[in-house]
Amino acid sequence: MVAPDAAFMDARQQRICAALTGKRSDIASMYRAALRLLSMPAEVGDERTRISHICHSMREVMNRVLGAMGTTASPRIKPPSNKQVQALPDMLSSFPGLALDADGESIPIPRAVAEVFDKLIKTAVQEKRRSREDVASLLTDDGNSEHLVVKRWVEARDFFVRWAHLQDDEPEMSKLPSDNHMRTHVAVFDELFDAVITAFFTLRHSIDDLLAEINSLEEGGNE
């Protein structure tokens, strides 16, 4: 009997989907949805929407799988930079005379404003570093955030982020990524994540074999 997903998922993708299902079924569903859409041509007029849905799903997969695999390198930063940015209008309303675009190389600003911007900048730097460190924690043995596999993962994720949302101007059809272009970036995720789960299950089987051997020795010693 042919598996339901066999029509649009190769053996490696089915293995990845099974591993994701064991961790978080919603991430596995996002992954299946992206592959299913990618296997079907777009309806005329829906080309951009199809790209957005595929890339949104893959972006979610690549972002959420880090925590699902338990490889977060550092605590989540609170409040995140986007929340801090949302609070800026209310904070700046307390200083109606403040002109950040005034002439001159140096502009005097209230200490309270300087502290807010200092925290925002530091948070943004930490978030960018943390993102790469989380990827490195998943993909490398030594947490090397400069490793080539980290660079490949980040580039693929950045591609999906770019095309997940509509922009201010509608791009020409010729500027849209082709199916092969999207498949190339999906393949990066497949290759890198498959290596992770293969190593994970190899290690787990080794541990299981070791525990079984220890248990058999203990049982033998009790006879």
pLDDT digits (tens, 9 = 90+) for 124-146: 887 777 788 889 989 998 889 89
Looking at residue 220, its pLDDT comes to: 57
pLDDT at 219 over 70: no
Task: Identify the band that residue 86 occupies on the pLDDT scale cut at 50, 70 and 90.
Answer: very high
Q: Which residues of 56-80 are buried (b: 16+ CB within 10 A; e: fewer)?
A: bbbbbbbebbbebbebebeeeeeee
Indicate left, alpha or beta for 44 from its phi (over 0: left) and psi (-120 to 50: alpha).
Answer: beta
For residue 16, how many other CB atoms are within 10 A of its CB?
Answer: 23
C-alpha to C-alpha distance for 139 and 144, rounded to whole angstroms = 9
CA atoms within 13 A on the CB side of 68: 19
Looking at residue 107, its pLDDT comes to: 86
Asked if 51 and 177 touch (Cβ cutoff 8 Å), the reply is yes
C-alpha to C-alpha distance for 210 and 213, rounded to whole angstroms = 5
Task: Identify the band that residue 205 occupies on the pLDDT scale cut at 50, 70 and 90.
Answer: very low
pLDDT at 1 over 90: no
C-alpha to C-alpha distance for 74 and 194, rounded to whole angstroms = 24
C-alpha to C-alpha distance for 95 and 113, rounded to whole angstroms = 9
Task: Identify the band that residue 199 occupies on the pLDDT scale cut at 50, 70 and 90.
Answer: low
Asked if 72 and 134 touch (Cβ cutoff 8 Å), the reply is yes
What pTM did the predictor assign?
0.74
Residue-wise pLDDT for 144-190, tens only, equals 989 999 999 999 999 999 999 998 899 899 999 999 999 999 999 99
Lowest mean pLDDT among 43-52, 151-160, 192-201: 192-201
Scanning the chain, the segments in alpha helix (DSSP H) are 11-23, 25-38, 47-68, 81-92, 111-139, 148-164, 179-221
Q: How far apart, in Å, are the Cα atoms of 52 and each of 91, 133, 150, 183?
A: 35, 27, 24, 14
pLDDT at 221 over 60: no
Name the token pair of 2. 């042919």
